[in-house]
Amino acid sequence: MKALVCVKRVIDYNVRIRVKSDKSGVETDNVKMSMNPFDEIAVEEAVRMKEKSEIKEIVILSIGTDKSQETIRSGLAMGGDRGILVKTEKEQLEPLTVGKIIKAVSDREKPDIIILGKQAIDDDCNQTGQIVATLLEFPQATFASELKKNDDNTLEVTREVDGGLETVKVNIPCVVTTDLRLNEPRYASLPNIMKAKQKKIDVLEIGSFGIDIKDRLQVLEVNEPPERKPGIKVDDVEALVNKLKNEAKVL
Ligand code: AMP
């Protein structure tokens, strides 16, 4: 089997986000960027499947500026075999555009499984995996918390849904999106980081796909969330009940 793993370069999850003074977006200058955490889980799952000989090749795909090569290299250092960067000068692309590009790359690469994060932590869209599955007409198993390959070329995927856990069986080729509890991604070792420098990354211009990348959405304004009032500590249960009754008025 061949896996196509999609990774997005986003602001590191530890960074305190700052909104630009003109409210047009968030500051990205001199800000630490990393691989989207759900995508690290996607790479990790592919690498584990390769270690079990269920997957032969892992292709790491990112769509973004030249700097996204760093993100692809991180995936290669974790165990990816080669990378593809679809290069654009635009800092942000909409999920529909990204979905169309992933479909086009999938048409060329013919993967058996496409693994994406359930959502990117910058736009929180949670759309791309579903769009890719729809465009390719592949079955999709989203929010995966467990993944098992069967001998009959199907995958059994446990999904985290509101009511608990749901297990679905999907035919290959398919799209899987990862949830937090699927695995704990490894840290790349120094030798593997060095080895990853030799791995191949194909760079393709977004224009070469002949895909309309025009935005359908217009961001009107970005604002900081309202500041939360600091919490207080109460001495005992009696004081807590008193406050809930008389101040919060929720009892
Ligand atoms: P979203 O729908 O934007 O929340 O993103 C869901 C997932 O789609 C991410 O976790 C990535 O796996 C994938 N994805 C989104 N944008 C990109 C991108 N520019 N390049 C590669 N993968 C992406």
| Mean pLDDT for the stretch of residues 166-173 | 97
Is 76's C-beta closer than 6 angstroms to any atom of ligand 1?
no
Atom number in ligand 1 closest to CA 127: 2
Is 111's C-beta closer than 6 angstroms to any atom of ligand 1?
no
At residue 138's C-alpha, the angle toward residues 137 and 143, to 5°, is 125
CA of 94 to the centre of ligand 1 (A): 9
Q: What's the chain's Rg over C-alpha atoms?
A: 21
Work out the burial of residue 245: count CB atoms within 10 Å of its CB; fewer than 13 is exposed, 13-18 middle, 19 or more buried.
Answer: exposed
Among 98, 100, 118, 217, residue to substitute to test ligand 1 (most atoms within 8 Å of Cβ): 98
pLDDT of residue 30: 92
Band (229; pLDDT cuts 50, 70, 90): confident
Residue 148 phi, psi dihedral angles, 5° rounding: -135, 130
Confidence check: pLDDT of 172 > 90: yes
Overall pTM surpassing 0.85 (yes/no): yes
Two structure tokens written together for 105: 């790359």
d(CA 195, CA 84): 17
pLDDT of residue 228: 86
d(CA 142, CA 72): 23
Sequence ranges of the domains in the chain: 2-223
| Mean pLDDT for the stretch of residues 75-91 | 96
Two structure tokens written together for 102: 């992933």
d(CA 112, CA 59): 11
pLDDT of residue 251: 85
What single-letter DSSP state applies at residue 18?
A: -
Is 142's C-beta closer than 6 angstroms to any atom of ligand 1?
no
pLDDT of residue 196: 97
CA of 68 to the centre of ligand 1 (A): 12
**DSSP-H helix ranges across the chain:** 37-51, 68-78, 95-109, 128-136, 190-196, 237-246
Is 139's C-beta closer than 6 angstroms to any atom of ligand 1?
no
Query: What is the pLDDT of the chain when averaged over all its residues?
Result: 95
pLDDT of residue 150: 95
- HEC string of 93-127 equals CCHHHHHHHHHHHHHHHCCCEEEEECCCCCCCCCC
Question: How many other CB atoms are found less than 10 A from the CB of residue 215?
Answer: 12
Is 94's C-beta closer than 6 angstroms to any atom of ligand 1?
no
Strand partners, 4: 59, 114
How do strand 140-149 and strand 164-171 relate by DSSP bridges? unpaired
Fold annotation for 2-223: Rossmann fold (3.40.50)
